[in-house]
Structure formats: structure tokens, C-alpha cells
């Protein structure tokens, strides 16, 4: 897609007709994708269908076709085991041992922040729960699989200058990575964790050991005679103010930004790439971002490296003939899981 904003048909006004939106491409041009889970349901539903959670329609819904119905029709024609779900009740009913394809659209727009997530039957699964279900389904393929998991709302917490929210989302992301490590094997699964960018987010001051990371620095105040938080931003929607009596650990609290902006911005420092499993040694050192793609392809023997797996291994350790790749992306962070 030429623009990540082309999520649905309603975002394509003024775009030449031969270009198609991302939701359309996912269903109409990528039928070999086994598991799709996330938000954005409004870009899949037609205008004549009521959203099952909101009990109303949205102006973002489609006027050409209903992609959920189209996905269901195609899977029925293919005579494969499949399931479309939109809440925890449906998600929990999926049997990963007998289900081959899943389309899970759990929110009309973005998934909920973890601290706001409804964990009941009408709510939505966590990132860790979706990760586990996806691996359990994909892991039945004896040829291996590729899985991309994105912690997309870490980024949103930072843009709002809400450090508690961003860190809470990062903790859930960490749980998703841990789940992936627990139910896969380092001998045949390449696990990669990285980010697409950083934020203008910083830690400053000399607070006492054990002082709450979300609290104010307890050893000094600023030269303006006001306390300041250990965590702060280089820019953002919240200007500096007196924090006396304010609960700086609350999810709704916004850390101060030096430069006033409507939304905090990305930053430019290098981001880490963590990896375990076959070919993980190739991630040592500093690399351009597109290098990651080549390592994933090389490890999986796909793309420009189809013949690599035909070469006899130097050692039998980790030399399984098929495997998987899991990639985690923190949006800031994702992980890739590759079964090799």
C-alpha cells in the first residue's frame, strides 16, 4: 500500500480506482493468510450491516461489499475449518487443534488499552492470548509458519504523553513474547523482537533508590520551585505545571513535554533487535532496518534465498528442515516468529 492511512474504502476518496485499500487486500488478495486478529472491524463491514458491538453503523464502513461475508464465503467454498469472531466468547470457543483459519475483529477501531480492556465474554483477548492462540493454530503446519505480532498501542500511549499507559502496554507486549518463548523451541524457531522507532521519552534526575518510576523526583525540585517527574518527554500536549498533590502514577496523567505540541513525536536513536533461535547470531551488531527482512527470509529459505536449506548443515544442532519465524514489533514494538 502506498499509504498506511488506506485502511478501508472510506479512506480512499480521491485515490485512483486501481488502488485498493488494506482491508480489501487482506481478504481478496491474501487468502493464504491463516490467522488475522486485531481491530479495525469498521473497514471490513458493509454499510448495510450493524456493528455487533456498537449496535449501529459507522461512517467508515464499506459501500462496495462486506469483507467478513466474503471471507466466510471463500472459506466455505474451500471447505476448510474456519472461524470469524469479534469478542472473547467467540475467541475462547476456537479450538486451535481443529481450526485452520481465523478472522478475529475485536474492535470497530483500535484495540482497547490493556488497562481498559474488558476481560469478560463480550470483551476482547489480550495480546498474549492472541499470540498463544495463533501459535497453537499455525504450529500444526509441518512446513512451519511466519507470525507477526504488533504491540501497536505502546506508540499511542507515548503520543498522548501518558507514560503509565505506554509502559502498561509494554508489559503486556513482554507477556506476549514470553508466551511465544514458552510454547516454541529454540532449536527450530527464530524469535525476533524489535521496534520501528523510538519516542522523545526520557528518564532524568537523581531520585532515591526504590522511588516509583512514575513518581516525582524525591531528592530535588526544579529551579522554578516545582517538582518534576522522573519520566518526561521532549515535546507533547502537556506543558509543565505544579505537580504538588497530583497522582503522577495514574493512567490518565500526562508527563510534561518541553516543546508544546498537539501530539508527542517519534525520536531518532537506534532501536534494539533481540533474537533467539536458528540464525539469531546474524542480528549481532548495528544494521539498517531492511536487514531484518533479509535475515528472516534467509533463515526461512524463502524470497531470494530458496536454496539455502538444500545445503547440508555444518552441524546437526538446530538444523531442522522446516521451522517458523515469529516477529514481535513494538509500535514501538513487534516480534517475528519463524519456525525453521
User: Which of 34, 16, 19 is CA-nearest to residue 137?
Assistant: 34
What is the arithmetic mean of pLDDT over 56-77? 97
- Name the phi and psi angles at 316, rounded to 5: -80, -10
79: exposed, middle or buried (C-beta count within 10 Å: 0-12, 13-18, 19+)? exposed
The model's pTM is: 0.92
Give the model's pLDDT for residue 332.
46
Give the model's pLDDT for residue 210.
97
Owner of C-alpha cell 496523567: 253
At 320, list the grid cell.
531442522
pLDDT at 331 over 50: yes
What is the arithmetic mean of pLDDT over 87-112? 98
Q: Is 197 annotated as a binding residue?
A: yes
Give the model's pLDDT for residue 319.
32
Residue 228, CA atoms < 13 Å, CB-side half-sphere: 21
What is the arithmetic mean of pLDDT over 68-86? 97
215: exposed, middle or buried (C-beta count within 10 Å: 0-12, 13-18, 19+)? middle
Other C-beta atoms within 10 Å of 7: how many? 18
What is the arithmetic mean of pLDDT over 122-140? 98
What is the arithmetic mean of pLDDT over 279-306? 93
Reported confidence tier of residue 334, pLDDT bands at 50, 70, 90: low
Q: What is the pLDDT of residues 212-232, one digit of tens each?
A: 999 999 999 999 999 999 999
Give the model's pLDDT for residue 307.
82
Do the bridges between strand 333-339 and strand 145-151 make them parallel or antiparallel, or are there none, so unpaired? antiparallel
Give the model's pLDDT for residue 320.
37
Residue 300, CA atoms < 13 Å, CB-side half-sphere: 25
Give the model's pLDDT for residue 258.
96
pLDDT at 291 over 80: yes
Give the model's pLDDT for residue 28.
96
Q: Is 281 annotated as a binding residue?
A: no
Q: Is 159 annotated as a binding residue?
A: yes
What is the arithmetic mean of pLDDT over 145-170? 97
DSSP states of 7-40 as a string? Answer: -SGGG-TTS-TT---HHHHHHHT-TT--EEEES-
| pLDDT top residue among 307 and 274 | 274
Give the model's pLDDT for residue 45.
98
Lowest average pLDDT, out of 7-16, 79-88, 326-335, goes to: 326-335
Owner of C-alpha cell 498474549: 128
What is the arithmetic mean of pLDDT over 85-101? 98
pLDDT at 98 over 90: yes
Q: Is 186 annotated as a binding residue?
A: no
Give the model's pLDDT for residue 318.
32
Give the model's pLDDT for residue 16.
83
What is the arithmetic mean of pLDDT over 260-287? 96
Lowest average pLDDT, out of 3-17, 110-124, 265-279, goes to: 3-17
pLDDT at 62 over 60: yes
Percent residues over pLDDT 90 in the chain: 86
Cα gap 61→44, rounded to integer Å: 7
User: Which of 17, 19, 22, 18 is CA-nearest to residue 5?
Assistant: 22
- Name the phi and psi angles at 116, rounded to 5: -105, -5
Reported confidence tier of residue 250, pLDDT bands at 50, 70, 90: very high
Q: Is 266 annotated as a binding residue?
A: yes
Longest CA–CA separation in the chain, Å: 70
At 317, list the grid cell.
544442532
Give the model's pLDDT for residue 209.
97
Reported confidence tier of residue 330, pLDDT bands at 50, 70, 90: low
Helix (H) or strand (E) holding 103: strand 101-105
Give the model's pLDDT for residue 315.
36
Q: What is the pLDDT of residues 193-208, one digit of tens each?
A: 999 999 999 999 999 9
pLDDT at 138 over 50: yes
The answer to whether residues 229 and 256 touch, using CB atoms and an 8 Å cutoff, is yes
Chain centroid offset of residue 282 CA: 24
Give the model's pLDDT for residue 8.
97
Reported confidence tier of residue 327, pLDDT bands at 50, 70, 90: confident
Q: Is 212 annotated as a binding residue?
A: no
Amino acid at each position: 500500500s502506498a499509504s498506511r492511512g488506506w485502511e478501508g474504502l472510506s479512506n480512499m476518496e480521491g485515490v485512483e480506482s486501481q488502488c485498493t485499500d488494506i482491508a480489501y487486500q487482506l481478504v481478496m488478495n491474501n487468502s493464504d493468510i491463516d490467522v488475522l486478529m486485531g481491530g479495525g472491524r469498521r473497514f471490513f463491514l458493509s454499510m448495510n450491516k450493524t456493528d455487533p458491538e456498537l449496535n449501529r453503523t459507522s461512517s467508515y464502513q464499506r459501500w462496495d461489499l462486506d469483507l467478513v461475508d466474503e471471507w466466510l464465503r471463500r472459506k466455505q467454498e474451500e471447505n476448510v475449518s474456519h472461524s470469524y469472531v469479534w469478542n472473547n466468547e467467540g475467541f475462547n470457543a476456537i479450538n486451535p487443534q481443529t481450526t485452520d483459519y481465523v478472522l478475529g475483529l475485536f474492535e470497530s477501531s483500535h484495540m482497547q488499552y490493556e488497562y481498559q480492556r474488558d476481560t469478560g465474554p463480550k470483551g476482547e483477548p489480550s495480546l498474549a492470548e492472541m499470540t498463544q492462540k495463533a501459535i497453537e493454530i499455525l504450529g500444526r503446519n509441518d512446513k512451519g509458519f511466519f507470525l507477526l505480532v504488533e504491540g501497536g498501542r505502546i506508540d499511542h500511549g507515548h503520543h498522548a504523553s501518558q507514560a503509565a499507559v505506554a509502559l502498561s502496554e509494554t508489559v503486556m507486549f513482554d507477556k506476549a513474547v514470553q508466551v511465544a518463548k514458552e510454547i516454541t523451541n529454540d532449536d527450530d524457531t527464530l524469535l525476533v523482537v524489535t521496534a520501528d522507532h523510538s519516542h522523545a521519552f526520557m528518564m532524568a534526575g537523581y531520585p532515591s533508590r526504590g522511588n516509583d518510576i512514575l513518581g516525582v523526583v524525591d531528592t530535588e525540585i526544579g529551579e522554578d520551585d516545582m517538582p518534576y517527574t522522573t519520566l518526561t518527554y521532549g515535546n507533547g500536549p502537556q506543558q509543565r505545571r505544579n505537580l504538588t498533590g497530583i497522582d503522577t502514577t495514574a493512567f490518565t496523567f500526562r508527563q510534561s513535554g518541553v516543546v508544546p505540541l498537539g501530539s508527542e513525536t517519534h525520536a531518532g536513536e537506534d532501536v534494539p533487535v533481540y533474537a533467539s533461535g536458528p540464525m539469531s547470531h546474524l542480528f549481532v551488531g548495528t544494521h539498517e532496518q531492511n536487514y531484518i527482512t533479509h535475515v528472516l527470509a534467509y533463515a526461512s529459505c524463502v524470497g531470494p534465498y530458496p536454496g539455502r536449506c538444500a545445503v547440508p548443515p555444518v552441524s546437526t544442532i538446530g538444523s531442522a528442515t522446516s521451522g517458523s519465524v515469529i516477529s514481535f514489533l513494538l509500535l514501538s514494538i513487534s516480534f517475528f516468529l519463524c519456525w525453521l
